[in-house]
Amino acid sequence: MMSLNNRSIISNSSPISSIRRKIPSSPNSKKIPFPSKISMEGAASNKSIKRWFWTKDEDVKLKKGIAELYDESSEMWENLWGDHMHHGYYDVHNMDDDGSNVSLSHHRTAQRRMIQEALLFASVPEDPMAKPKRIVDVGCGIGGSSRYLAKKYGAECQGITLSPVQVQRAQALTAAEGLQDNVTFQVADALNQPFPDGQFDLVWSMESGEHMPQKSKFVGELARVVAPGGRIIIVTWCHRDLSSAEKSLRPEEEHLLKKICDAYYLPEWCSPSDYVKLLESLSLQDIKTADWTDNVAPFWPAVIKLALSWKGMTSLLRCGWKTIKGALVMPLMIEGYKKGLIKFAIITARKPE
């Protein structure tokens, strides 16, 4: 492994671990009514951080819970933050640790920068002949990344999410920008994608991997749908890598992660090294990872500050219990980062030609 500034690069012979976060708003968002909420039964149970098997019943409950969480909370997130439901990327040395003196527009710029930094890190070509033409946005939220990527590359983009409300909202925002011919959305499972093999030049997963119950199946699907020569980008929450002497996280660490799992419908955590191993096992190339935990540090404090504002509190109270439960757990994310337990990681790879 070698180091480039804050970026650790791992080649085809090394190991990885995973986390997660929420959404922001476009100028059009106020004009387009948000689809009505869809109520569902069920909640995920998180018995341990690493799962070696996963029952059908658990799977159904988890996916219902995720769909319901995002059906319930996406409008609030969009009203407060806009159409990107992910962390911002900040300059480590130009920012207070708690981000308290930073404007909302700066945070939104940081969220777009997250996308730009991920594309740079993965060396996605800009050249007109080589740039991506077909993109899949796996766990697309309300389509912030899908629209960004489609516009940047003049590409077709297909987004998938478990939330029917997100699909409707993503379609409405996309139509408002006149992108509906190139950018489409559907409810579909990332672990069983409705696409043929080798379909996409760029497979994009921005803060959705942490929701996936079987990381090997998740990564296997990403590798299946990427075209030869195409790139996979995973930006996700991980737990720290284990040392060679460790077989598992410490009990108090597992305890903290489980509380976060319960609130956010995260079935299992893994390390960046685990992701690298999975990508290696599928013979992918140019496998790289970096720890961007320091670069996202101002984000959660800003989310909490906005949630505690009058607008934040009233929006939160209009959402359901799942969203309120998620808000109560936000300080645990900061605790996890500060303790070095939670890592904000990017993992990228390329499929051989």
Please report, as residue ranges, which positions from 199 to 258 form the binding site for ligand SAM (by CB under 6 A): 206-208, 211-212
* Candidate segments 4-12, 139-147, 252-260, 307-315, binder of ligand SAM by CB under 6 A: 139-147
Strand bridging mode 134-138 / 156-161 = parallel
Put residue 340 in one of left, alpha, beta given phi > 0 → left and psi -120 to 50 → alpha.
left
Long-range contact set of residues 149-152: C-beta below 8 Å, sequence gap at least 24:
149/115, 149/202, 149/204, 150/179, 150/182, 150/183, 151/179, 152/119
Instruction: Determine the Cα angle at 11 with ends 6 and 13, to 5°.
Output: 130
Exposure of 195 by Cβ count < 10 A (0-12 exposed, 13-18 middle, 19+ buried)?
middle
* Candidate segments 11-19, 81-89, 248-256, 294-302, binder of ligand SAM by CB under 6 A: 81-89
Q: Is the four-CA dihedral 72, 211, 209, 56 of positive or negative sign?
A: negative
Assess 160 for contact with ligand SAM (CB under 6 A): yes
Assess 61 for contact with ligand SAM (CB under 6 A): no
* CB closer to ligand SAM out of 166 and 168: 166
Assess 163 for contact with ligand SAM (CB under 6 A): yes
CB of 240 to ligand SAM, least distance (A): 21
Assess 84 for contact with ligand SAM (CB under 6 A): yes
Assess 19 for contact with ligand SAM (CB under 6 A): no
* Candidate segments 82-90, 293-301, 310-318, 327-335, binder of ligand SAM by CB under 6 A: 82-90
Point out which residues bind ligand SAM (CB under 6 A): 20, 23, 66, 70, 84-86, 139-141, 144-145, 160-163, 166, 189-191, 206-208, 211-212
